[in-house]
Amino acid sequence: MNLAVIVTTYNRPDALALVLEGYLEQDTRGFELIVADDGSRDDTRELVEDCARRAPFPLHHLWQEDRGFRPGAARNRALASTRAEYILFSDGDCVPPRDFVAQHARLAEPGYFLSGNRILLTEAFTARVLRERLPLHAWGTGRWLAAWLRGGINRCLPLFLLPDGGFRKRAPQQWKGVKTCNLSAWRSDLMRVNGFDESYSGWGLEDSDLVIRLLHAGVRHKSARFAAPVFHLWHREHDRSRLTENQQRLSAIIDSRRTEAVIGVTRYL
């Protein structure tokens, strides 16, 4: 199976550096990595180019002009650029454990999309991680338990891997709780719903919109929880001034049963 990882970023090269190191040291090398850049400065490009020289897999940097918060467009551009069969989405502030890509690939199944969970780092712990460039991707359970006991992370249960079973396919068939910082799906299913809907403006709910349309299209939710977590570095809250408008748009898509994005990936094909 050909797999592409799409990681969004915007002007946070210190966090992205840790994330990219996590992908450079994955247990598997059989994937392509695309950094979907929402308009960062040149230091991000330079970082990605440096990592690309060391990467044991194809590593690409796709940049778009900075015109506000547009991760949906960045992801669509990346999706259009790859011919990989399977797509794994994450963010440039979410550090993957070493088996992250392998776990998503192992759990992938036709007719399903996967969502995993995340562990949130506090502001203080994130500052230390970035200052000391701590290799979170290589940490074992013991170090994470110590971080939890010190109050550096919000929880530790996602670290414990559960054996596969029917419970994964009994995941709630709903959009709540599914986030594109840890989501994978077949490219054919993503193309069928026209990718992310770029009619969402500003922060909020464009990822939920995608999940709702996948469910409307008959793609089922399979859980990757307790198999493929990510370590989410702290960041300031995004501007939510357009959230009410986006909530209204999301309510409309829930009621309409529509499957295709209004402004989607096809514009880049």
Contact 155, 39 (CB under 8 A): no
Mean model confidence pLDDT for the chain: 95
For 34-64, letters b (16+ CB in 10 Å) and e give: bbbbbbbeeebeebbeebbeebebebbbbbb
Q: What is the pLDDT of residue 95?
A: 99
pLDDT digits (tens, 9 = 90+) for 62-114: 999 999 999 999 999 999 999 999 999 999 999 999 999 999 999 999 999 99
**What is the rounded CA–CA span in Å between residue 208 and residue 105?**
22
Task: Please determine, for residue 175, whether its predicted confidence score (pLDDT) is greater than 90.
Answer: no
Contact 62, 49 (CB under 8 A): no
- Radius of gyration over every alpha carbon of the chain, rounded to an integer in angstroms: 18
| Residue 264: C-alpha distances to residues 195, 198, 201 (Å) | 5, 6, 13
**What is the rounded CA–CA span in Å between residue 145 and residue 217?**
40
Between 247 and 193, the more confident residue is 193
**What is the rounded CA–CA span in Å between residue 222 and residue 28?**
22
Q: What is the pLDDT of residue 84?
A: 99
pLDDT digits (tens, 9 = 90+) for 22-54: 999 999 999 999 999 999 999 999 999 999 999
Residue 131, token pair as written in the block: 């200052």
Nearest residue to 109 (alpha-carbon basis) of 267, 25, 223, 215: 223
Ranges of each domain in the chain: 3-268
Residue type, 16: L
* 3-268 topology per CATH: Spore Coat Polysaccharide Biosynthesis Protein SpsA; Chain A (3.90.550)
Residue 243, token pair as written in the block: 């959230």
